[in-house]
Amino acid sequence: MTGWFIALILLICLITIHLLWRKKYISLKLKNTDLQPKPSKLVRAGMTEMLANMPDGILVTNAEGKIEFANPAFCSMFDLADDPSGKTVMEAIRIHQANDLIERLNKENSITNEEFMLPNLEQRYLQANGVAIREKSEKYRGAILVFHDLTRIKRLENHRQEFVANVSHELRTPLSIIKGYVETLLDTETDTESTNHRFLKKIENHSDRLTFLIEDILTLSRLESGATNLEENYVNIRNLTESVFESLKEMAEKKDVQLNNKVPEDVVMLADHRRLFQALNNLIENGIKYGGECVCVSAEKNEEEIDICIEDDGPGIPPESCERIFERFYRIDKARSREMGGTGLGLSIVKHVTQLHAGTARVESTPGNGARFHLTFPIIEKEKNSNEQTKNINR
């Protein structure tokens, strides 16, 4: 009897302890639940204030493409008087480029460095970066876009380009007069071993170098300004390469360099013949000047792109120089480049000509194994249709 009584007392004690702990646990849980929203509200308020004070335009949209948040900088960029929340991008700002970015983020995860100009008289330029908001299941929840005003930078670039172009153009006239007088004096100087003849020859050589430099600067300024209009026609790359070889034949013979054209006869692309000739000429001329005994041009074409390769068997290019080789005035060996008469702008012109055709320029090289310059161009829809018609005719 005593044992049952003691067991009953222990059971009652255990039930009491359990109820007390359960009550305490529930009260602590309720207390934590009450406190939980407060920090998140503070965080949200802080984030909103931070985004509102940012100098860049911030736009947040939901899954339906409607604006959930737009900071004052965004409203100022697009001249919005009222809060655009609840509207679509097209309803709020009527800018097709911005709406296209939102639609792209519905399919892509991020967008970087997209530039466009606002369709107004002020010619304002914007750069946009954006990320898509997705759940763990990859379901699209919205997008965040950051707009940066590039107008001041673009205007400064335009002023610089105009200044360089104007100065270079103004230097042409006095330089041509100097060259004319020097050539006249050289014709009257019969003694080729005299000091006067040597001095005049030096002036003539440096005048030629300055002429080449001015021409390259003017060419690069036109390419960078975007004012160059491409006169696109169907260009046979093999025939174009032969034309370049013909123009550089004398230089190659003096250097005892062999020129090989391995471009297939059926490689044709839509391009500006004069500009593409200029790019190939610069690369092949560099191969003759700084390469070894042979310069070879080849090309490969598939359904999406054309890759033109200019290869030499010279000393090659150091890895640290491969990254900077297309920069203006960059030289691997400054003393040797000047001795050869280079301006340091040839490869930069090649890069800009390639970009004008929506292509890319790159170099592959290791010291001692020569250099391979690749110009890769996408095949546009017009070319694809032409290729299909050619195949059907051949059938």
- In the chain, pLDDT over 90 holds for what percent of residues? 10
- Are the CB atoms for 77 and 146 separated by under 8 Å? no
Helix (H) or strand (E) holding 359: none
Domain with CATH 1.10.287.130 in the chain: 154-225
The CA-based angle 131-74-111, given to 5 degrees, is 20
- The pLDDT, as a whole number, for residue 16 is 54
Residues 6+ apart with CB under 8 A from 387: 379
Edge-to-edge strand ranges of the sheet holding 57-62: 67-70, 57-62, 140-149, 125-134, 110-117
- pLDDT, greater one: 389 or 271: 271
222-263 pLDDT tens trace: 777 666 677 888 999 999 999 999 988 888 888 888 999 999
- Residue in this structure with the two tokens 């940066």, named with its chain if needed: 148
The region of weakest confidence among 102-106, 151-155, 221-225, 377-381 is 221-225
Enter the tokens of residue 287.
């191969």
- Whether the pLDDT of residue 306 is over 90: the answer is yes
User: Any idea what DSSP says for residue 107?
Assistant: T
- Whether the pLDDT of residue 36 is over 60: the answer is no
- Are the CB atoms for 347 and 289 separated by under 8 Å? no
Domain with CATH 3.30.450.20 in the chain: 51-149
- Dihedral sign of CA atoms 229, 326, 343, 236 in order: negative
- The fold for domain 51-149 equals Beta-Lactamase (3.30.450)
Helix (H) or strand (E) holding 113: strand 110-117
**DSSP conformation letters of 55-93:** SSEEEEEETTSBEEEE-HHHHHHTT-SS--TTSBHHHHT
User: In the CATH scheme, what architecture does the domain 154-225 have?
Assistant: Orthogonal Bundle (1.10)
Helix (H) or strand (E) holding 302: none
- The pLDDT, as a whole number, for residue 393 is 36
Helix (H) or strand (E) holding 187: helix 151-188
The region of weakest confidence among 222-231, 336-345, 371-380 is 336-345
- Whether the pLDDT of residue 367 is over 60: the answer is yes
pLDDT, average across residues 165-191: 83
β-bridge mates for residue 270, sequence order: 234
Helix (H) or strand (E) holding 230: none
Give the right CATH number for 232-388 from 3.90.105.10, 3.30.300.30, 3.30.565.10, 3.30.1490.100.
3.30.565.10
- Whether the pLDDT of residue 305 is over 80: the answer is yes
**DSSP conformation letters of 43-56:** HHHHHHHHHHT-SS
Domain with CATH 3.30.565.10 in the chain: 232-388
- The pLDDT, as a whole number, for residue 87 is 87
